Chain A
């Protein structure tokens, strides 16, 4: 590998999301002599970015001066802010929790913001490589992280080199910044390798699904923000919906469910589709058209689960670390802020040492600490959670305890003892009819003849144990219909439709036997979200 020798950077960033690009851009602006590269598994910038997204604009102002005057594809100031509890047939306004006040905030497309950040970073001299997935860490002699190996391209399904095989190169770096977003595969490897999660609470996650709609003229109130709790979720299931009215008759709707749910028969996809059919919402969509749709997990463990953010040769930023502020349901400002802070830290200190403490004592770290007990409080159900949230908010988190999470993969209860809840679901009329129609809106590209990137350690167990005990929940929690149990002449077996994968990572998190490992497919594979 001779060419690989020439790929060497002072700082290598893994993932061109808000955290990674903020870090790269800041590094290059503050210290132009540094060589900085960013690897991104998506085929183009923003293509795997999915978020609500209502953002606090302060960091964007700093990174992209003048952005307000040169609007992104989606960029609407919040004009109205509502919070509601939904019953099966009605909506009840609730006082908006203080963290969820959005005055001065903007509704944007994260994908569009990422494209803008990427353009700024490139003009500052950052080298960005979309379509290249970092698959393995490289080590130096002392055992420190020394860069990454990029995945091979052009292997066949069986793993053999195909006609246009192109081996992945090694990219070496003085410091590697892990900015892969929620449940990053390389980040996870490194957290385990260096024991960065030792002594921390288990991490917990949620799954978010989103659609961008084009509606008939006149139905939207641009800037109107609605968050909901309640139907179609039972009160013991943490989650809710969002409806953001955009300009030009566009509307973003989404639904987030905590992956600590217990019912193996629950389907996040179905819950999202049901949410759209609430009588208070369904009328919005008739005659409209979906422009883009997708799903992504969110990291919700917060401060108690925040791993040590530094390791020899590397550091963690943004959702790869877990800086999302759950009560605010916002992660973008934290991602940007942690990326900037990491850059400044590297410039001041010349390396990752001390970044963990630096972050924890920063305003962002304190912000996370203050709200640390709110998400775990919802493990006792919606109403206890809301009450606990109020207490935590009033006290500013200055309570003498810290609640913890449990692993999401442990939370499923076997099918037998749990009575199947009566869901009172409605007959659906809106698109997409099913998950295949949903993923069709994600503009997936995935070369079929490549190794399956969803690695199942023991597929036999799926039918020998999981079917009877949990009824193969992978066939329901996956929002993209990747997993199917096929029964044919050869008996029953797990079929993995890898080409449907939208890279949300829910399977890596929720599979009750921890059999599924999500690894990056060939670079450039996956969804091509348009402004999610």
Chain B
């Protein structure tokens, strides 16, 4: 019998539902393999479950609520749900550092292969995923007789919205065993000190090219980055010209990134740069040169001078009251 388990991103209860979880639900719905359960792990989960109950199409909410699960390690998670997952034909986790840590461990325990970073669902056992940093896609099939265990490539999916269900699903509190593994111990979490997100994992990136003309001008991006809570990137040309430090370089020889929104200002779009942003969700290009190759891959293009566009953009965001 098919049944699907989504293992939610572990979290503390007070925050809104993790987007990663909502995206994983989207994949579960796309797969459509039997009834859908969600396993929630964490601590003080009640407020969160209040929100979760409104999600449509869920059979059961399985809740593991225990102070020891505030920052669960992979071995604890495997001990917690290692037997539970045997009841399911499909087990899904978000492609977060949590899911990527836990899911392959579960797979090892169950003795099944795992599918990492699913881009697309073709049928309940066939998936598309990226290889070689997304330069090749592969259609993989999970053999019959073993459960489907996968992580979801978050940049490829939109979250489900929390529409109201007429009959909210039941909540089952599950017992957390007394003898959880203790050989791995959470010591601490140092949240990123910098106000700005990390380029590699940021949901939004604003990026600049050589048209900025100087290091001082390049700083124009900072206001926009702050406004959008975005990371700052740079083309190799900008880095080589000394306008931006090396670790901001996006592209084949820099960082390969997949933010939901990538805004390129004054970047012409050399192939090396485009390789680094191929998997971005939405690409915006702003360039004076209407022939710039970046426009060939941009979802939205604006021909114009970045020194005019950036201030105008800031003003417009302010006017519409968007972001921050």
Contact = CB atoms under 8 A, between A and B. Distances in A.
Classify A-B as touching or not with yes or no (CB < 8 A): yes
Contact of B271 (A437, A446, A488): A437
Contacts of A490: 214
Interface of B: 210, 213-214, 216-217, 240-241, 246, 252-253, 270-272, 293
Contact of B213 (A436, A440, A488): A488
Contact of B241 (A432, A440, A495): A495
B276 to A, nearest CB: 12
B272 A440 contact: yes
Contacts of B252: 440
Contacts of B210: 486, 488
A499 B253 contact: yes
18 contacts: A432-B271, A433-B271, A434-B270, A436-B270, A437-B271, A446-B253, A448-B246, A449-B246, A486-B210, A486-B241, A488-B210, A488-B213, A488-B214, A488-B241, A489-B214, A489-B216, A495-B240, A499-B253
Contacts of A440: 252, 271-272
Residue of B210, B216, B241, B252 contacting most chain A CB atoms (<10 Å): B241
Contacts of A434: 270
B11 to A, nearest CB: 37
Interface in A475-494: 486, 488-490
Contacts of A432: 271
A486 B241 CA distance: 8
A96 interface: no
A437 B252 CA distance: 12
B98 to A, nearest CB: 31
A497 interface: yes
Contacts of A449: 246
A437 B214 CA distance: 26
Given A436-B272, A440-B271, A495-B240, A489 B213 contact: yes
Contacts, number: 31
Nearest to A436: B270
Interface in A445-465: 446, 448-449
Contact of A436 (B214, B241, B246, B271): B271
A499 B216 CA distance: 25
Nearest to B241: A486
A486 B238 CA distance: 11
Of all A-B residue pairs in the complex, the 8 with the closest CB atoms, nearest first, are: A489-B214, A488-B213, A436-B270, A437-B271, A440-B271, A489-B213, A497-B240, A440-B272
A446 B240 CA distance: 14
A510 to B, nearest CB: 23
Interface residues of A, number: 16
B292 to A, nearest CB: 12
Given A448-B246, A448-B253, A495-B240, 8 more contacts: A432-B271, A433-B293, A434-B270, A449-B246, A488-B241, A489-B214, A490-B214, A495-B241
Given A436-B271, A437-B271, A489 B217 contact: yes
A449 B249 CA distance: 13
B249 to A, nearest CB: 8
A207 B214 CA distance: 35
Contacts of B214: 488-490
B237 to A, nearest CB: 8
A499 B240 CA distance: 10
Nearest to B296: A433
Contacts of A446: 253
A437 B270 contact: yes
A434 B268 CA distance: 12
Nearest to A440: B271
Nearest to A434: B270
Contacts of A489: 213-214, 216-217
A446 B254 CA distance: 12
Nearest to B212: A488
A436 B214 CA distance: 23
Residue of B210, B214, B271, B293 contacting most chain A CB atoms (<10 Å): B271
A193 to B, nearest CB: 35
Contacts of B240: 495, 497
Residue of A432, A436, A440, A497 contacting most chain B CB atoms (<10 Å): A436
A446 B253 CA distance: 9
A436 B210 CA distance: 15
Contacts of A488: 210, 213-214, 241
A438 B177 CA distance: 60
Nearest to A489: B214
A433 B246 CA distance: 26
A123 B308 CA distance: 65
A497 B270 CA distance: 14
B233 to A, nearest CB: 16
A437 B240 CA distance: 17
A21 to B, nearest CB: 31
B92 to A, nearest CB: 36
A448 B293 CA distance: 25
Contacts of A433: 271, 293
Contacts of B217: 489
B34 to A, nearest CB: 43
Contacts of B253: 446, 448, 499
A448 B217 CA distance: 24
A434 B274 CA distance: 14
A456 to B, nearest CB: 15
A435 to B, nearest CB: 10
Nearest to A447: B253
Nearest to A499: B253
A436 B294 CA distance: 14
Contacts of A495: 240-241
